[in-house]
Amino acid sequence: MSAPLRGRRALVTGGSRGIGAAIARRLAREGADVALTYVSHPDEAEKVAATAREAGVRSVAIQADSADARAVAAAVERTARELGGLDVLVNNAGTAAMAPIESFRLEDFDRILAINVRAVFVAVQAAIPHMRSGGRIINIGSCNAERMPHPGGAAYAMSKSALQGLVKGLSRDLGPRGITINNVQPGPVDTDLNPARGEFAEMLKGFLAVPRYAAADEIAAMVAYLAGPETGFVTGASLTIDGGFTA
């Protein structure tokens, strides 16, 4: 594989497993130095960082709960300090809670907004002073911003829809600086938190034009493309990779 990201410095939040781990590994294979954050399971995070280092790049795992705004900002600062700057920010950390509106807990609502929306804003705000022209910001949204096909997902869908407005607005702030910002909106992805087996998975497959779950590496490929040198004219966009879930 070529190294279009050689010399670039990246931070992937929530990078210890699933989609985030796949993104961190892909960016490393394409030549970027990579920092990743995790909440728990330091062994898993360090394993991802070690795999990145095997690709010949620098990599560091940073403990930071995205529900904690100070921890998010501190992770950005540490990344810039240890890697010598920051060129690519991937806001991947996210959470979900599903329940009928009558029983949805306010604490779950607040946590969804804190991690899925506030942490993204905080990370972007902290990253901008370190980014030069050519910087890339990529948020991992969800196809549920476009379609929520079952009850109980209103708060989650709202949080991902908020990212659409955020990138449209921030594209105006950041475009004159040569920095792009976009969302990647996956459909169902086979991870340990959402395995491609079981009753829930079979229900979701029924909504897809391509009747299977995505592999995390497929999402990582789109992120790597947006992080690369050929996408300087793509900004303010929400790019869906969902197997036809929203078709």
Amino acid at 168: K
At residue 193, does pLDDT exceed 90?
no
Find out whether 46 and 40 touch, Cβ atoms under 8 Å: no
Residue pointed to by tokens 């360090």: 46
The CATH architecture one would assign to domain 9-239 is 3-Layer(aba) Sandwich (3.40)
Residue predicted with more confidence, 192 or 18? 18
| Mean pLDDT (whole number) for 37-63 | 97
pLDDT grade for 200, boundaries at 50, 70 and 90? confident
Find out whether 122 and 67 touch, Cβ atoms under 8 Å: no
Sorted by where each begins, the domain ranges of the chain are 9-239
pLDDT digits (tens, 9 = 90+) for 105-157: 999 999 999 999 999 999 999 999 999 999 999 999 999 999 999 999 999 99
For residue 76, how many other CB atoms are within 10 A of its CB?
A: 26
At residue 226, does pLDDT exceed 80?
yes
| Mean pLDDT (whole number) for 33-52 | 97
Tell me the catalytic residues.
156
Distance CA 145, CA 147 (A): 6
At residue 24, does pLDDT exceed 70?
yes
At residue 1, does pLDDT exceed 80?
no
pLDDT digits (tens, 9 = 90+) for 237-247: 999 999 999 99
At residue 166, does pLDDT exceed 90?
yes
Q: Which tokens go with 32?
A: 């970027």
Number of alpha helices (DSSP H) and beta strands (DSSP E) in the chain:
8, 9
pLDDT grade for 198, boundaries at 50, 70 and 90? confident
| Mean pLDDT (whole number) for 82-92 | 98
Average pLDDT value over all residues in the chain: 97
- Label residue 193 exposed, middle or buried (CB < 10 Å: 0-12, 13-18, 19+): exposed
pLDDT for the residue numbered 98: 95
